[in-house]
């Protein structure tokens, strides 16, 4: 029979051995995994800005098309600028700001810095890409919204999610749904912030949401659609002071 001491020794050696193997593998593979995550983030930004790239050339395309990465505070001041591969002002690189942390801090009443990507689109026009993040039915949803140089008109979006119901909520990241956002406005005629709403039953039939501030919801994916509306509004409204300042120039 095996003594308790033997069992205990056996278990301890096993645990230490397994932990050592796993930790070393995790350390070796970590750079690759981080690279993948960066590429994914870059691809999302590029896709909102209407630039085509796949995993192999995403980094290259991004470096060619980025004009500057801005980190702005909630009052609309630019705190840090990153361009041409180095920090031109401030200490934060906007790309490294995690939108999830930003939204958590805003919910707690903190004053985090917001990332904004100023890029050159394929037709050489300028775009401003704003990353957004919120809650769907099952878990987080996130994406990017690209604005034209008038800071008002949406010229592209990309949304993504984890684990939404396939066929319903999951439709938020299909091109059909995303293309509805093109040409919608985030400011009304007098320049006040009016977010884009996802409208159930179709925006054309809605009496209280004007055509340029709404898109049609995905039928059946109500909660995901509501989550999406809330996400777009909650994230974009933080950028309003910045936008007003830029427009006043």
Partner 1 sequence: MSADTPKKEALFSAKNRRLLFNPLNKENPITVQVLGICSALAVTVKLEPAVVMAISVTLVTAFSNLSISLLRNTIPPRIRIIVQLVVIAMLVILVDEVLKAFYYDVSKQLSVFVGLIITNCIIMGRLEAFAMGNKPWPSFLDGIGNGVGYGWILIVVGLFREFFGSGTIWNFPVMEKLGVYNFGYKDNGLMILPPMALILVGVIIWIQRARNRELIEENK
Partner 2 sequence: MQELVNIFVKSIFIENMIFAYFLGMCSYLAVSKTVKTSMGLGIAVIFVLGITVPIDFLINKYLLSEGALAWISPSWAELDLSFLSFIMFIAVIASMVQLVEMVVEKFSPALYNSLGIFLPLIAVNCAILGGSLFMQEREYETLAEATVFGLGSGVGWLLAIVAIAAIREKIRYSQIPAPLRGLGITFIITGLMGIAFMAFMGIEL
C-beta of 26 vs 211, nearer to partner 1: 26
CA separation for the pair 114, 11 (Å, rounded): 48
Partner touching 140 among partner 2, partner 1, none, CB below 5 to 8 Å by kind: partner 2
167 binds partner 2 (CB under 8 A): yes
165 binds partner 2 (CB under 8 A): yes
Partner touching 204 among partner 2, partner 1, none, CB below 5 to 8 Å by kind: none
140 binds partner 2 (CB under 8 A): yes
Q: Where are the alpha helices (DSSP H) in the chain?
A: 4-48, 58-65, 99-107, 175-179, 222-237, 240-248
- Which of these, 146, 190, 149, 173, lies nearest to 45 by C-alpha position? 146
Q: How far is the CB of 124 from partner 1 (least distance, A)?
A: 31
Beta strands 214-216; 197-199: pairing state: parallel
C-beta of 34 vs 189, nearer to partner 1: 34
Show the tokens assigned to 225: 């659609």
Partner touching 52 among partner 2, partner 1, none, CB below 5 to 8 Å by kind: none
CA separation for the pair 9, 107 (Å, rounded): 49
CA separation for the pair 237, 244 (Å, rounded): 11
The residues that touch partner 1, with contacts defined as CB under 8 A, are 2, 6-7, 10-11, 14-15, 18, 21-22, 25-26, 29, 32-33, 36, 39-40, 55, 162-163, 166-167
First to last CA, the chain: 84
Q: Near partner 2 by CB under 8 A, which window of 41-49, 108-116, 142-150, 216-224? A: 216-224
162 binds partner 2 (CB under 8 A): yes
Rg (C-alpha) for the chain, rounded Å, is 22
Beta strands 140-147; 197-199: pairing state: unpaired
Q: Directed axis angle between helix 58-65 and helix 4-48, to 10°?
A: 50
For residue 15, which phi and psi values (nearest 5 degrees)? -60, -45
CA-CA-CA-CA torsion sign (6, 12, 16, 17): positive
Q: Near partner 2 by CB under 8 A, which window of 5-13, 65-73, 121-129, 160-168? A: 160-168
CA atoms within 13 Å, Cβ hemisphere of 140:
9
C-beta of 162 vs 237, nearer to partner 1: 162
20 binds partner 2 (CB under 8 A): no
163 binds partner 2 (CB under 8 A): yes
C-beta of 69 vs 164, nearer to partner 1: 164
Show the tokens assigned to 82: 């990153």
Partner touching 138 among partner 2, partner 1, none, CB below 5 to 8 Å by kind: partner 2
C-beta of 6 vs 237, nearer to partner 1: 6
Residues at the interface with partner 2 (CB under 8 A): 18-19, 22, 26, 137-140, 162-163, 165, 167-168, 219-220, 222-223
């Amino acid at each position: 029979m095996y003594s308790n001491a033997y069992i205990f020794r056996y278990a301890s050696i096993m645990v230490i051995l397994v932990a050592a193997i796993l930790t070393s593998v995790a350390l070796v593979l970590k750079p690759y995994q981080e690279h993948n995550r960066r590429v994914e983030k870059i691809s999302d930004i590029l896709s909102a800005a209407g630039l085509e790239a796949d995993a192999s050339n995403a980094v290259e395309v991004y470096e060619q098309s980025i004009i500057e990465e801005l980190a702005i505070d909630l009052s609309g001041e630019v705190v840090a600028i990153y361009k041409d591969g180095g920090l031109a002002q401030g200490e934060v690189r906007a790309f490294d700001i995690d939108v999830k942390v930003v939204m958590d801090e805003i919910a707690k009443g903190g004053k985090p810095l917001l990332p904004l990507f100023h890029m050159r689109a394929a037709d050489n026009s300028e775009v401003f890409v704003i990353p957004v993040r919120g809650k769907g039915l099952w878990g987080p949803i996130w994406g990017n919204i690209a604005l034209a140089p008038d800071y008002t008109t949406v010229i592209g979006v990309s949304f993504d999610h984890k684990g939404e119901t396939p066929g319903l909520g999951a439709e938020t990241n299909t091109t059909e749904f995303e293309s509805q956002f093109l040409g919608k406005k985030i400011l009304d005629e007098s320049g006040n912030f009016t977010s884009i709403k996802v409208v159930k039953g179709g925006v054309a039939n809605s009496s209280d949401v004007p055509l340029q501030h709404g898109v049609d919801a995905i039928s059946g994916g109500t909660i995901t659609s509501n989550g999406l509306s809330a996400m777009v509004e909650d994230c974009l409204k933080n950028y309003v002071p910045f936008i007003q300042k830029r427009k006043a120039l």
